[in-house]
Amino acid sequence: MGNLLFGLTYASALGSGLIAGLFFAFSTFVMSALARLPAEQGIAAMQSINVTVLNPLFSLVFMGTALACVILGIASLTKWGTASAAYVLAGCILYFVGSFLVTIIFNVPLNDALAAVAPGSSEGAQLWNLYLSKWVAWNHVRTIASLAALASFILAIRKW
């Protein structure tokens, strides 16, 4: 059982790191580049990104890490008092709440609203400005949470 939990912790560290890097890229340059385009082009590009991101590999990393966090979070409570349990639980909460749930509750509805507008419409242009500010702000949260989760999992592995 200990090897399985260690493996899940290691996989969660890798998953958190991959997702943090993806979110970091969007926070630091992708969204800025899209914002420089005319609204119609920025909307069309983001709509395309939002379709292509829904692929098996991304889903495996993003949702697989969330599932691992649920399992590890429960296991860490049963192993409370061990050197790594608090770090594992912190990493699980940071990733599951700050990355996974923030995506589901905030970023996905914004993506769905953007998908529903025609890129060249006045409605689309209005939504694009709101989308850029809200989506990027929540993406910053996801980036920081995923990085913090990665750090927590690394600390847990070091204490194992």
> Where exactly are the structural domains of the chain?
2-159
Q: What is the mean pLDDT of the chain?
A: 97
94-121 pLDDT, tens digit per residue, is 999 999 999 999 999 999 999 999 999 9
13-33 pLDDT, tens digit per residue, is 999 999 999 999 999 999 999
What does pTM read for this prediction? 0.96
Q: Over range 38-59, report the average pLDDT.
A: 98
Contacts by 75-82, CB closer than 8 A, 24 or more apart: 75/5, 75/8, 79/5
Q: DSSP code of 131?
A: H
Indicate whether 124 pLDDT > 80: yes
Helix (H) or strand (E) holding 157: helix 122-159
Q: Over range 53-59, report the average pLDDT.
A: 98
